[in-house]
Amino acid sequence: QAAATVRNLTADDAIKARLVQEGGLGPLVQLLDVPEPLTREHVVAAMANLTMDSGNDDAIVQAGALQALVGLLRDPSVRTQEHAAICLRNLSTSADIKVKIVQKGGLTALVHLLHSPDIVVREHCTVALRNLSSADENKALIVREGGLPPLVELLGCDEPRVAVEAAVALQNLSMLSGNEAPLAQAGALAALVPLLSSEDPAIQDAASGALANLSSFADHDARIAQAGALAPLARLALSPHVVVSEHATALLRNLTAYSAELKMRAFEAGCLRPAVQLLRSRERVVLQNAVATVRNLSFHPEVKVRLVEDGAVPQLIGLLNSADAEVQEHAAAALRNIMAEA
């Protein structure tokens, strides 16, 4: 009864603050290890309430809560697991506490719980791992601990909020050189491509960002195109959300960089016109990617004709005066390609 009362009281912000200020954390942490299951659940739920305020984070860690919270991820009670995962989800937003969570074995335990049959538990563990995956030292560790297959599986989750967290975690992991092959082996390429057709900008951002990171490795460009990425990319390139446009155009740029077959497939999928439209973009990264994509596509006679028809030549000539040397270079190369054998 007392534990349940504390749980209820900690839902109130004013009471939470008083509990911390008056030294209530120490006794609460000690109760995380009691043998009675329902008491443990109430106490860890109270602790989850306290972690909703980031101002309590350091005090919670200093009171010695982390080891107990990591241990409770293995509790027989699903609800206790849930509240422990909420605690680590909230605490893992701190760069310093991220390190301590990993040192206490929290990353391994969170990866294990990605296999939980309870979707709420999996959601909180996914967010915690998303937070941990932003630290470079954890990117390889999550892969070694077996985190990729369950995260890839969650991309197909019926709960969009879970899918987006898994996608962001995978985007973070894709930033580390050496993770490209394991991500592909875990099925990430085929699982990420359908998310490009999502209407949720957060999912579009994470999926296109991860694929852009992976697209320059080995044969990933062909596999991404084969999975159906080109048509949705033509739409996403023109997204009003700058970060989505940046990632989509970066992916288009990479997919059209080398293979003559992929260049034509991109052209046939309608990717040229948005690239031409974006030659007017005021966003530096988007413009760089767009003009590089136009350059990549401008080798084929049919594409050259379309570039002239779509008014790309005056735009490219104007970009020769750009203050950005990279933009100048790609514009000049595209113009040379268009005029070659004319």
Question: What DSSP string describes 43-62?
Answer: HHHHHHHHHTSGGGHHHHHH
pLDDT band at 170 (very low <50, low <70, confident <90, very high): very high
For residues 264 and 305, give the distance between their C-alpha atoms in angstroms, rounded to a whole number. Answer: 14
Q: What is the pLDDT of residue 68?
A: 97
With a cut of 60, say whether residue 342 has pLDDT above it.
no
Domains and CATH numbers, the chain: 1-138 (1.25.10.10), 214-342 (1.25.10.10)
What pLDDT, in 10s, does the model give residues 270-314?
Answer: 999 999 999 999 999 999 999 999 999 999 999 999 999 999 999
Q: What is the pLDDT of residue 20?
A: 87
What pLDDT, in 10s, does the model give residues 204-262?
Answer: 999 999 999 999 887 899 999 999 999 999 999 999 999 999 999 999 999 999 999 99
With a cut of 90, say whether residue 323 has pLDDT above it.
yes
Task: Report the 3 state secondary structure along 221-237.
Answer: HHHHHHCCCHHHHHHHC
Q: Name the percent of the chain lying above pLDDT 90.
A: 89
Q: What is the pLDDT of residue 13?
A: 84
Q: Is 321 exposed, middle or buried (0-12, 13-18, 19+ CB in 10 A)?
A: exposed
